Structure 1
């Protein structure tokens, strides 16, 4: 083989080796390659890396903690109809991951563009089917991006007890999830701080052209747990698994308990309960059969006692008469005598 053919063969083998090496690292999750792929998510210089998306679903046994949850969704002109449909799918998928109910998680949706529309309140729907039907009816509002006004409306009108939010004494977490693809046309820093001061936890989801600085100003701390970014609406539904990890809490009863009869979940803890007919012991976990006390009802006039005495006397006299120990005397006459006694 001439020198040219040897050189060509060496080059081909070298190229094959490089391709195989790159393929291996891509499959293995090479950090350098992942960083390169995520570069589009941090287009603004100096901005910290936020959560990257993992489309893999979580199968850990958990149930969502009770929430008063308000979605604040951007439906401005930049959100095309097909993209807004992706937002509706995302909301419906989120509902599926939650324990929805009047005593569990309540959901509301605030829709905004240049104006703000509350699509439905926390008190309106307490089951998943009704919620998803209501979500399917949401239409985009078309123009403007008044994000600050939307946050203020949610705080003043959606997170109130009149609208279905639970009282502070119930210790139910209040959560807002903002989804936007643009730069706000009004101020968001002050109103977001005011909302957070009322104990509303804010998650900010940016899509495509979303302004990263604005997302940071809206979100609660720590930012790395409350700011998300996706490049297109086409992958926004993959955020569902991330929010499931964030919003759901471990079911203490499912993870193991020491209750003899029934385990009841209570936020992040649990308490024990007994079946009917049993009472909870002082150790708060075991149960004992309920003791039934026989109550003696006092007869004020002694009537029942007198009747019982008469019946016993009649029976005794009848036995003596049958044995010919006493003369035959009509029972009625004895009753009269007993009555006079």
Structure 2
């Protein structure tokens, strides 16, 4: 019986510690509405990112964005329409305007065609109408040639790209379903060296190794793959999240940290004193119960 009572006291001590942590020391009758996980997480500064802040940061981050889309023979007409829907959906998620995000489209197969430049359409409706008018080119898959044309002609100030002094991110999103019929590694490296961030979206038969050779690092943030064009629109939110990702680091005032440490020390001392008093009372009660049971 004494062994059982001792174990009970031991367990109760831990329970009391947790219960005491749930009380407001300035007002013991007020129980703080915190879970254990919340108390644990509040112990140290941490990174935080609210959805509202993400949307705001995304809208306030201007881009010079060029879509490079594969319209070779392997992309059927219905599938190409899915690509255009994906582009239009992406445009809808961005803040488009002269001082915000500008969009261009480079279309390629065995030849390369710049459908419109960054300076041509500066509203969402205008861009989406231009996307809707794009026709597939058919034939081969000259991805390297398309990347080079985008770098040399689409990402220039003459074509509507902002100067480096503006510090506007230059982003290329390549959408392809095949293996390139030319070299992509060297031209992609050259494009990245000029400051162009490359995302590679592969569909169906796309060659994963080629996607990795084209994309910027880290590859897990810049390479995407879907099995069919029928589900490519599901990538919209994923690509947007990567494009607009903003990590907010909490910078703490040193004075606030000192005050917090002092408060934590005071709280710890108060809890220890309170635990001793409560635990002593519990032990006395248990001893009384033990004595009563011993007399029975």
Q: Deviation at 1:248?
A: 2.2
Q: 2:141 maps to what in 1?
A: 145
Q: 2:212 maps to what in 1?
A: 216
Q: Deviation at 1:247?
A: 1.7
* Among 126, 131, 156, the residue aligned to 2:127: 131
* Among 39, 55, 74, the residue aligned to 1:61: 55
Q: Deviation at 1:235?
A: 0.5
Unaligned runs of 5+ in 2: 1-50, 249-296
Q: Which has the higher contact order (CA 8 A, sep 6+)?
A: 2
Instruction: Output the TM-score relative to the length of structure 2.
Output: 0.64
**Cα deviation per residue 1:248-280 (whole Å; 9 max; x = unaligned)?**
25699xxxxxxxxxxxxxxxxxxxxxxxxxxxx
**CA distance in structure 1 between the partners assigned to 2:244 and 2:238 by the alignment:** 10
* Among 153, 172, 175, the residue aligned to 1:176: 172
- Identify, as 1 or 2, the structure richer in helix: 2
Q: 2:67 maps to what in 1?
A: 71
The 8 Å contact of residues 66 and 103 in structure 1, kept in 2 or not, is answered as yes
Q: 1:108 maps to what in 2?
A: 104
Alignment pair present for 1:154 and 2:132: no
Alignment pair present for 1:93 and 2:89: yes
The 8 Å contact of residues 98 and 248 in structure 1, kept in 2 or not, is answered as no
**CA distance in structure 2 between the partners assigned to 1:99 and 1:249 by the alignment:** 14
**Cα deviation per residue 1:94-142 (whole Å; 9 max; x = unaligned)?**
0000000010000000000000000000000110000000000000001
Q: 1:189 maps to what in 2?
A: 185
* Among 235, 243, 246, the residue aligned to 2:242: 246
Q: Deviation at 1:244?
A: 1.6
Unaligned runs of 5+ in 1: 1-57, 253-341
The 8 Å contact of residues 70 and 109 in structure 1, kept in 2 or not, is answered as yes
**CA distance in structure 1 between the partners assigned to 2:243 and 2:225 by the alignment:** 18
**CA distance in structure 2 between the partners assigned to 1:61 and 1:109 by the alignment:** 24
| Distance verdict in 2 for CA 1:88–1:191, change over 3 Å | same
Give the greater-gyration-radius structure (CA).
1
**CA distance in structure 2 between the partners assigned to 1:147 and 1:243 by the alignment:** 20
The alignment of Structure 1 onto Structure 2 pairs a total of residues equal to: 195
| Distance verdict in 2 for CA 1:67–1:149, change over 3 Å | same
The 8 Å contact of residues 122 and 163 in structure 1, kept in 2 or not, is answered as yes
SS at match of 2:96: coil
**CA distance in structure 2 between the partners assigned to 1:140 and 1:153 by the alignment:** 17
Cα RMSD between the aligned structures?
A: 1.6
SS at match of 1:61: helix
Alignment pair present for 1:80 and 2:76: yes
